[in-house]
Amino acid sequence: MKNKLIYTAVLCAYTSAALAQSDVDALRYSNTPALGTTARSIGLVGAVGALGADPSVVQSNPAGLAQYKTNIFDFSLGTNTQKNQSSYLNALKKNSSTFNPELSAINLIFTERKIKRGNPTTTGWVNVNFQLGYNRSASFNRNMSFKGVSNNSYTDYVASFLKGLDYNALESNQEQQNQGYYYFENMFWYTYLIDSSSNKNYVPTYDKALGGIGQRGQIISQGGMNEFNVAYAANYEHKLYLGVAINLSNVNYSEKNTFSETDNPLTGNNWNSFEFSRNLQTSGYGVGGRLGIIFRPNANLRFGGTLHTPTKLMLTDNYSDALSVQYDEGGSEELKTMEKKFSYSVVTPTKYGLQGAYLFGKKGFISAEIESIDYSLMNLSSDATLFEDVNDNIATKYSNTTNLKIGAEYVLNSFRLRTGFATIGNPLASGSEYSRRIISGGFGIQEKQWALDVGMSKDIVSDVYVPYTIPGITPQGVSNSLLGTRLMVTVTNKF
């Protein structure tokens, strides 16, 4: 494996040059809170677990599917806009954005009611429900850019990273020069961005006395996770609801991480500027399950509990690096590494949830959910590589955290008005550089044979990205403020 920079949309304090497969990958696919895949659930910020009668409960509490009394077909379309503002080295803030249309969900639910003498029975198991569905579980779309002037260089990181390595390992042969270099450090050595001060010790080649290194970076990530759900739920006398779901996950992620530097114009006889880019494509699949229960002691109260099993994801990374260097005397170099491929698995942690709802007759309701996830239990493995050090790092770097979601709905005849708020816990064991809050709202029209719902949520995220670290020097972080907006429309047919 080789070193590369990885950035994830929900992380984080002090992510820098990490192993090609690292804790950052595990967190990317584990920190995927269920915030709704239908317009109704988005308007309630995903707090629908105890309420049921919404296809998106398959991602929180599948027991809620048993509250359907008719067959259902629905689909949800929407947009996802991300606006990111970055601050780096006291420079002017940089703004960047993404816009993506989304097919959020398609679900088909069949209801089989127990009939006695022509009427629905009220004793025993009164109905069972079966769901087939497609639901989006995560979006990785984000664009982050930054710039500033630093008193150190990325080449300082490369020099420190190579300490202890014999310089002969950095020499390139004809195969590398023609087909691509083995590792990114070979390119930095070949272009004289670093040099050896003695065997197994390296130094950058810029003039540290003059300083003033101009730096610029951009990270564009795209893709998402989708689930294909098969679920079964049963209703016992409208008092107890049980549900189980099997989830087949599909993963598609891409990232282009570009970092460039411009040397102080007062220096000469070395490099003038360079641009280093790292490209990653990840694809794969996985399987997991969910169990749920809802207790309805009376017409007003509902209590629920869920267990989400770990999901095992089988992933494949395709990655490569490229380096472009401009020299003071006017020459240039264009280099790249070989295309590499690596397969591994990620196991996400178990999730536990409790839900509750109070219904104000036919006037509306208030609902809440709390989820507990221990991110220190994330795990990476591979037939070809031992991940013992990575998994040990996960166990110490991450901790148990909780997510809280609260939603409310007001009913006026066939019209519904909704709102919600959620706070997503920090997965890091220490540090306060990450925070995430979501506010939401929406409305809907419910008729006997159809329903139309519109929902919107605002995702407010603060995090820190560190382009590189140098031993003995305080890391220079990029402070980010992200505002995400999801807008969704759901059409439901009851038959």
pLDDT higher than threshold 90 for residue 19: no
- pLDDT of 441 reads 98
| pLDDT tens profile 70-85 | 999 999 999 999 999 9
Average pLDDT of 161-189?
91
User: Comparing 489 with 263, which gets the higher pLDDT?
Assistant: 489
| pLDDT tens profile 194-217 | 999 988 999 999 987 776 899 999
**pLDDT over 90 percentage in the chain:** 86
Confidence of residue 9 (pLDDT cuts 50, 70, 90): very low
* Beta carbons of 125 and 171 less than 8 angstroms apart: no
| pLDDT tens profile 406-415 | 999 999 999 9
- pLDDT of 165 reads 93
User: What amino acid is encoded at 40 in this protein?
Assistant: R
- pLDDT of 11 reads 39
pLDDT higher than threshold 80 for residue 12: no
**pLDDT over 70 percentage in the chain:** 96
Average pLDDT of 320-347?
95
- pLDDT of 260 reads 98
- pLDDT of 173 reads 86
Confidence of residue 230 (pLDDT cuts 50, 70, 90): very high
| pLDDT tens profile 247-283 | 999 999 999 999 999 998 777 778 999 999 999 999 9
- pLDDT of 3 reads 35
pLDDT higher than threshold 70 for residue 10: no
pTM of the model: 0.92
Average pLDDT of 85-94?
94
Average pLDDT of 84-92?
94
User: Comparing 158 with 172, which gets the higher pLDDT?
Assistant: 158
